[in-house]
């Protein structure tokens, strides 16, 4: 322990023998660390927002449907358990959130145009916090209850249909007997969405009103469950499957949207590759700094070896120099990245490239996500790789012949 303290003291003094070279290398490490962590936070935020937007449109972390519903999302494929029975089972289950709904294809028609949409018959009280719609930001109002007679549509859809709050539209779908089921509704609200495609795709009607319109009694087409963390939904999945009791197909969100699940997995690999790539760029400067430091101290190293200092301690001194330099740079770079991310916590407006973001299913506002595990990973990987990068010059210094090193000009 005493020898380690001596090595650290010697390494610290040797670092600052050449202030300019050390400061240049330190600046490179700081900027590299900042780039690693800052860009990772931006990418994490982008992927997390994409997943969150996707889950809010699915919605939920776990879903239950009729086994044939995903292949044919029509009113013919309803869950074989009544809505009242599902409510009784799930009310006391302790989930973060859950809801049942009717979700079927439909056609909406105004005086000027018509469009194909997805009709969502919902319980507005249960949907709050589950869906992508911010009730408080709706122009007009959101639905009041399951038997509300109004309809809430997206702002972009309202523009397409040339309609607005207070106007009437007609909604058409199909009942279980393959007959046309239609009804007139008054538009009571216009919602905005982070992904504007949702504004054209979905319309909201009270669940009971939808059941009456489609003549399906007390049945629903899907049940959704929300957990605490979209990265770990196994507990919610098992509990939902248990409560449904084999009467429906239960799936995790990554099974419902393989694209989003793949993006999340790819992001984890990207973080590691990104850190390694940045370090490889830094390693050239690090090794060059250590080689030059060793070259300038050849006679000094030879003298220490001649006085009886063991080669392992020479090697340790050079390695400690490398780790001290990296540790200081990592600490400063991590702090700089944190300081850079904080002002962006409320989001970065990317509406200038909103159409491109839309194609990837992302919103035009980016929220950087600085995760402690990413910061720790960056620091640990750089320190470990730095240790191995410093072994070459350290090994060379430790194996000098004392007489040859002392007499070297």
Q: Of 123 and 295, which is predicted with more confidence?
A: 123
Domain end, chosen from 240, 255, 270, is at 255
Calculate the alpha carbon distances from 327 to 12, 137, 193, 317, 323 in Å: 12, 47, 44, 15, 6
Q: Is the pTM of the predicted complex or chain greater than 0.85?
A: no
Same domain, 49 and 69: no
In 216-266, beta strands by DSSP E:
222-226, 249-252
pLDDT tens-digit map of 202-244 = 999 999 999 999 999 999 999 999 888 888 889 999 999 999 8
Same domain, 199 and 340: no
Domain that holds residue 282: 2-54+261-406
Same domain, 37 and 64: no
Q: Of 204 and 35, which is predicted with more confidence?
A: 204
pLDDT tens-digit map of 11-20 = 777 777 777 8
Same domain, 215 and 67: yes
| b/e map 48-80, b = 16+ CB within 10 Å | bbbbbbbbbbbbbbbbbbbeebeeebbbbbbbe
Task: Answer whether residue 360 shows pLDDT above 70.
Answer: no
What's the CA gap between 387 and 323, in Å, rounded? 7
Same domain, 109 and 196: yes
DSSP 152: E
Same domain, 250 and 267: no
Same domain, 113 and 221: yes
Domain end, chosen from 210, 226, 255, is at 255
Same domain, 138 and 229: yes
Question: For residue 181, what pLDDT band results from cuts at 50, 70 and 90?
Answer: very high
Same domain, 73 and 49: no
Average pLDDT of the chain, as a whole number: 83
Classify residue 281 as exposed, middle or buried by CB count within 10 Å of its CB (0-12, 13-18, 19+). exposed
Task: Answer whether residue 37 shows pLDDT above 90.
Answer: no
Same domain, 275 and 224: no
Question: For residue 28, what pLDDT band results from cuts at 50, 70 and 90?
Answer: confident
Same domain, 177 and 236: yes
Task: Answer whether residue 64 shows pLDDT above 70.
Answer: yes
Question: For residue 408, what pLDDT band results from cuts at 50, 70 and 90?
Answer: low
Sequence-ordered list of residues with C-beta below 8 angstroms from that of 351, at least 6 positions apart, any chain: 364, 365
Same domain, 83 and 148: yes
Domain end, chosen from 255, 282, 298, is at 255
What is the tally of structural domains in the chain?
2
pLDDT tens-digit map of 106-151 = 999 998 999 999 999 999 999 887 888 889 899 999 999 999 999 9
């Amino acid at each position: 322990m005493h020898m380690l303290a001596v090595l650290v003291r010697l390494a610290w003094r040797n670092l600052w023998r050449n202030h300019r070279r050390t400061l240049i290398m330190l600046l490179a490490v700081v900027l590299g660390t900042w780039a690693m962590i800052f860009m990772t936070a931006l990418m994490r935020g982008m992927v997390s927002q994409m997943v969150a937007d996707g889950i809010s449109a699915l919605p939920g972390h776990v879903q239950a449907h009729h086994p044939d519903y995903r292949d044919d999302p029509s009113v013919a494929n309803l869950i074989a358990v009544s809505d009242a029975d599902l409510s009784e089972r799930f009310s006391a289950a302790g989930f973060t959130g859950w809801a049942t709904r009717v979700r079927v294809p439909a056609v909406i028609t105004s005086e000027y145009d018509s469009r194909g949409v997805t009709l969502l018959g919902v319980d507005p009280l249960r949907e709050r916090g589950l869906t992508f719609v911010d009730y408080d930001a709706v122009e007009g109002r959101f639905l009041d209850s399951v038997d509300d007679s109004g309809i809430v549509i997206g702002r972009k859809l309202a523009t397409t249909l040339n309609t607005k709050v207070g106007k009437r539209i007609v909604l058409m779908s199909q009942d279980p007997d393959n007959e046309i089921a239609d009804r007139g509704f008054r538009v009571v609200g216009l919602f905005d969405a982070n992904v504007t495609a949702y504004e054209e795709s979905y319309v909201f009607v009270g669940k009971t009103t939808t059941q009456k319109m489609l003549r399906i009694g007390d049945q629903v087409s899907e049940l959704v469950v929300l957990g605490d963390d979209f990265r770990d939904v196994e507990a919610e999945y098992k509990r939902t499957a248990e409560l449904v009791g084999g009467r429906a197909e239960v799936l995790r969100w990554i099974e419902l949207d393989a694209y989003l699940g793949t993006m999340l997995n790819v992001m984890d690999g990207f973080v590691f590759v990104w850190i390694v790539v940045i370090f490889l760029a830094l390693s050239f400067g690090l090794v060059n700094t250590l080689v030059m430091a060793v070259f300038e101290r050849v006679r000094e190293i030879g003298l220490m070896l001649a006085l009886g200092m063991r080669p392992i301690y020479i090697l340790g001194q050079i390695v400690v120099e490398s780790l001290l330099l990296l540790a200081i740079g990592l600490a400063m770079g991590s702090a700089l990245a944190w300081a850079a991310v904080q002002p962006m916590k409320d989001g970065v407006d990317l509406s200038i490239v909103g159409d491109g973001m839309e194609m990837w299913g992302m919103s035009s506002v980016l929220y950087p996500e600085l995760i402690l595990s990413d910061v720790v990973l960056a620091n640990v990987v750089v320190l470990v790789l730095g240790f191995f990068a410093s072994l070459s010059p350290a090994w060379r210094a430790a194996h000098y012949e004392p007489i040859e090193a002392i007499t070297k000009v």
